[in-house]
Amino acid sequence: MNKRFTKPFFTTKFYPITSALMFALVAPNMVMANDYGNLISVTSNSMQQKVSGTVTSSTGPLSGVTIFVKEKPTLATSTDANGRYSLQVEVGQTLIFSAIGFNKTEKLVEGAFLNVQLQESNQALEEVVVVGYGTQKKESLTGALQVVKGDQLRGTTSPNVENMLNGKAAGVYVAPGSGQPGAKGGVVIRGQATLGGTTSPLWVVDGVILGSSAGDLNPDDIATLTILKDAASTAIYGSQGANGVVVVTTKNPSASGTSINFSTKIGFNQLTNGNMKMMNGAELYDYYASFANQSAIKFPRWNADLRDSNFDWWKVATQHGFTQNHNISIQSGTEKLQSYLSLGYYNELGAVKGYEYDRYNFRMNTVYKPTTWLTVKPTLVGARRGVEDRQYSTTAMYSNFPWDNPYDADGNLVGHRSSSWVNNATTNYLYDLQWNHSANTNYEFSGNMDFDIKFTNWLTFSSVNNYRYNTYSAAGYTDPRSNGGESVKGRLTDYRSEYARRYTSQILKFNKSWGKHAVNALAAYEFNDYWDKTLDVYGTGFIPGFEVLNVVSKPERTKGAITEWAMQSMLSNVNYAYDGKYLGQLSFRRDGASNFGDNAKYGNFFSVSGGWNMNRESWFNASWVDNLKLRASYGSVGNRPSELYPQYSLYSVSSSSGYNENSGALIYRIGNKNLTWERTFTTGVGFDAAMFNNRARVSFDYYDKKTDNILYNVPISGLTGVTSVYKNIGKMQNRGVELTLGGDIVRKNDLTWSLDINIGHNKNKLTELIKSKDASGNYVVRPLIIGDGLGIAGSASRVLEPGLPVDTYYMPIWAGVNVETGAPEWYKVETDQNGNQTQVKTSKYAEATLQKAGKASPDLFGGFNTSITYKQFDLNASFGYSIGGKIYNYSRQEYDSDGTYTDRNQMKLQDGWSRWEKPGDIATHPIAKYNNNDKGNSTSTRYLEDSDFLRLRSLTLGYNLKLQQYHLKNVRVFFTGENLFTITNYSGVDPEMSVNDSGAVLGSAGPAIYPATRKFMFGLNVTF
């Protein structure tokens, strides 16, 4: 029969359009759409037939298995939720069945039915890993990276994925921030590689570069998270990969039946006060009574009755907070259209009263395949985050006297500077909280229109196109009757900001194998720009109760700004493998950024790496080794300054630069047209091994990161009105090792016990510093003294000096207590005529010598996780640890002050501490005096403590119910305890480093500490 007479009346070249129309008309019944496509295939070739069957494994049907025709790879399908499939083929053709974690299987088509059982493979070899701008099989990787699956993150209850990374990957240090709801942690990968910019890694979500934060990403939407560490992994991101890269892949739909997943967590949280305990009324009275100059105490209420005045400021400000986290997702799909929809809600009432955080999330991921050569992947993501803030004072929880009661005898709040208070110079913040409050709201929306065009089975064009919009608003109300509003008759504040970020990358991908050769390559163009606008308005003078700026009698301040920047890049990457044994990779990227002048607008970055799968050699006879790979890499990444236009000399036109109500301009910045890219060159070697059928696993890496042209905002004389200028000031080195060990200690049918340990060690050193003129006009290297980031006068300083870590503390060295007098002592350095230096004790703080005094970063850090599964029960524990770092406990300067501060409470002496009382006493603490001026609480190593700790981050007990008879695929109930205990000698609230608002890790703890919280959560996961 002539085939042209068997075609339908419409032409086949319009099939993609008519198919789409048919799909829209018969969407409720997807089988009709499939059958229609089959009709065309059958009538166009009488030699074809439909083959169908079921794909199973040893545990049952397999969904999502890819099946394609070997002779014509563009003919493909996948199994549904019950493992069923059907496909039009010719008799005698071969079907290839493949799925992650299973051996690829080929079957000859001999009839209309073909059932296949797949055999499990060594998943460590078959696992596909998401890397820069693509995916690779784990066995073909040449770079150092670590994959954390979404389920491994969710043992910790947090709205921020940064905090969930804590202890999950070797070489990744996470400072968890505070226990305040919604607080973000700070992430540092392989040490601090810059001074003047962010130390946070680059976050990439579904191929879109977000920047140094994950934003309002819902952790429940995460499928996998890949941490890229070395040059082979990060160089493809060029100037944005200097601090490492975190690549996030969200959950995507598959061609299977409808699946609905619901998860919920509900529980309470409470504050953990660490080792710092404050004195009650009796203890504080006894402390004052022990002062050597007790006769100097003159305040009116000084008598023994104070022992019975014991108001608990901690108790009045704290509560059992409440946390809830609910998520629902729906995924469904056919071969042509797959969709994933998720909705999430997170709410937390703070354990410090008066603070509530909530967040709503939604995500819609869609994959549409109108033809075999085109895949369209639209995505829509949104989040709303809100805070209501009437928070009780965390400072008052520690500092307010237990002798001072905020309520009078009738239970009414006393006013400010109450005569009934011992500290009658301060305010009663509870009085202000009757009226004062603030709130902020953030909306974030992101949309993608991505598509892939498959030219051949080895050449694909991928386009990623994203638009992200964020709007933030904050408002504050300070009542005219409150302490802060009295002098201005009330204050209203209104802050608004919005930003938009556009991102596009156009990628040509090549993936082909022939004989023993395999090449995976890409070339791409990328563009990224950013725009934001802010408005900041204050108004004063209004009638109590009104909260709109229209009612104020005086505009106090009006500020606003617009910021813009842009980047464009060209990049390429080639991976080559010979016989699966010898691996090579080359990458190159050229970035152009608006942060530099014309002489340094573009920077070039590269990497070269190689790998050797030794176990694939014919002479390798160790059958108990599943895989053994050696890796080596070298390459460069870069960094830009945090300032937008440091290359230009700028003037500031603002209200502060005007005169007599006339506008004016003042010099704002001295430009540096020679400013250039900060570059980090990394050398790395490592190996990966799996043994005994993947029962034992080990991964080891050594790296040497050298950063040159360090960008820093260098302080200069303020004679011109400018106090700093951006310069490239020197060189830095980070050198370290990472070790990951894992194993299944017990692996039986009903019982599995696994243990995974990760260890990170990093040694940082400033190797070179820019020279500056001394008094004689000679160019010399002079150390730079900088702050610790706490922003409090009198806190610790740090020193930038070649040969030292960049987080080295710089302060007088504490020498203890004078045995005879009880006076505090420090060391001063004396130099004799021969230049020999000796350390001499002195009780005069002004004579003490500033010296180098340890570093903030730890020597060893990481975590270990263990999991036990017995039948339907599972028990999981996650620990974190840190060894060898220092933390400056500034809070002790105020709360352990030997009587210097008489307007605030004091902390109890801890085990091993003692107070000097008489000559001959060997004590840790000097003599205590009222209004002590011995300077014993001044900045020194007295308050520099070890930050070593071991913490049980989470402990989860779960049970899986078998309820398939009720059409429930999985039901799991569990109970989780988080932050259950911490073993540490640190005398403060929390030995883990805090972070500032921009995510920078701090090495000091201030007085207004929001402690970490302990959570107890009940959870339920249901899939049907």
- pLDDT, average across residues 824-832: 95
Which pLDDT belongs to residue 59?
Answer: 66
Instruction: Give yes or no for residue 311 having a pLDDT over 80.
Output: yes
SS3 806: coil
For residues 459 and 30, give the distance between their C-alpha atoms in angstroms, rounded to a whole number.
30
- pLDDT, average across residues 905-934: 96
Name the least confident of 134-143, 925-934, 997-1006. 997-1006
Handedness of CA 922, 924, 930, 931 (dihedral sign): positive
- pLDDT, average across residues 229-254: 90
Q: Phi then psi for 259, rounded to 5 degrees? A: -135, 130
Average pLDDT score, the chain: 88
Q: What is the pTM of this model?
A: 0.85
For residues 877 and 754, give the distance between their C-alpha atoms in angstroms, rounded to a whole number.
11
User: What is the side-by-side strand order in the sheet with 944-946?
Assistant: 944-946, 886-889, 1004-1005
| CA 699 to each of CA 310, 742, 758, 798, 1002: distance values in angstroms, whole numbers, following the listed order | 56, 9, 9, 35, 30
Q: Please compute Rg for the chain using Cα positions.
A: 33
Work out the pLDDT band at 26, boundaries 50, 70, 90.
very low
Instruction: Give yes or no for residue 45 having a pLDDT over 60.
Output: no
Instruction: Give yes or no for residue 180 having a pLDDT over 50.
Output: yes
- pLDDT, average across residues 174-191: 88
Instruction: Give yes or no for residue 532 having a pLDDT over 70.
Output: yes
Which pLDDT belongs to residue 667?
Answer: 84
Tokens of 306: 């104070």
Which pLDDT belongs to residue 369?
Answer: 93
Instruction: Give yes or no for residue 21 having a pLDDT over 80.
Output: no
Which pLDDT belongs to residue 120?
Answer: 66
User: 473 near 440, Cβ under 8 Å?
Assistant: yes
SS3 766: strand
Name the least confident of 155-159, 204-208, 338-342. 155-159
Which pLDDT belongs to residue 101?
Answer: 59
Higher pLDDT, 831 or 33: 831
What angle separates helix 30-44 from helix 15-25, to the nearest 10 degrees? 150
Tokens of 730: 């020197």
Tokens of 285: 């009275």
Instruction: Give yes or no for residue 956 having a pLDDT over 50.
Output: yes
Q: Whose CA is closest to 538, among 592, 589, 584, 484?
A: 484
Instruction: Give yes or no for residue 799 having a pLDDT over 90.
Output: yes
pLDDT tens-digit readout, 191-208? 988 887 778 899 999 999
Work out the pLDDT band at 778, boundaries 50, 70, 90.
confident
Q: How far is CA 40 from the centre of its chain?
A: 52
For residues 714 and 196, give the distance between their C-alpha atoms in angstroms, rounded to a whole number.
9
Which pLDDT belongs to residue 42?
Answer: 35
pLDDT tens-digit readout, 584-612? 999 999 999 888 877 788 999 999 999 99
For residues 338 and 80, give the distance between their C-alpha atoms in angstroms, rounded to a whole number.
12
For residues 134 and 142, give the distance between their C-alpha atoms in angstroms, rounded to a whole number.
14
Instruction: Give yes or no for residue 429 having a pLDDT over 50.
Output: yes
User: 385 near 240, Cβ under 8 Å?
Assistant: no
Instruction: Give yes or no for residue 287 having a pLDDT over 90.
Output: yes
In the DSSP assignment, the letter for residue 662 is B
Which pLDDT belongs to residue 23?
Answer: 31
Work out the pLDDT band at 793, boundaries 50, 70, 90.
confident
| CA 325 to each of CA 263, 267, 675: distance values in angstroms, whole numbers, following the listed order | 8, 9, 47
Sorted by sequence, the CB contacts under 8 Å of residue 966 that are 6+ apart come out as none
User: 450 near 390, Cβ under 8 Å?
Assistant: no
SS3 201: coil
Which residue is listed with tokens 């942690």?
185
- pLDDT, average across residues 514-533: 94
Work out the pLDDT band at 47, boundaries 50, 70, 90.
low
| 507, β-bridge pairs | 462, 524
User: 301 near 403, Cβ under 8 Å?
Assistant: yes
Instruction: Please report the beta strands in 40-102, taking only residues with DSSP state E, as ranges in sequence order.
Output: 48-57, 60-61, 66-69, 72-78, 84-90, 94-98
Q: Of all residues in the chain, what percent carry a pLDDT higher than 90?
A: 61
Sorted by sequence, the CB contacts under 8 Å of residue 384 that are 6+ apart come out as 359, 360, 441, 442, 443, 444
Name the least confident of 244-258, 262-276, 291-305, 357-371. 244-258
pLDDT tens-digit readout, 491-505? 999 999 999 999 999
Higher pLDDT, 368 or 28: 368
Instruction: Give yes or no for residue 41 having a pLDDT over 60.
Output: no
For residues 954 and 1016, give the distance between their C-alpha atoms in angstroms, rounded to a whole number.
10
Instruction: Give yes or no for residue 352 having a pLDDT over 70.
Output: yes
Instruction: Give yes or no for residue 623 having a pLDDT over 80.
Output: yes
Q: Is 619 exposed, middle or buried (0-12, 13-18, 19+ CB in 10 A)?
A: exposed
For residues 802 and 786, give the distance between their C-alpha atoms in angstroms, rounded to a whole number.
14
Higher pLDDT, 695 or 1003: 695
Instruction: Give yes or no for residue 833 having a pLDDT over 80.
Output: yes
User: 219 near 151, Cβ under 8 Å?
Assistant: no
pLDDT tens-digit readout, 707-742? 999 988 887 777 777 888 888 889 999 999 999 999
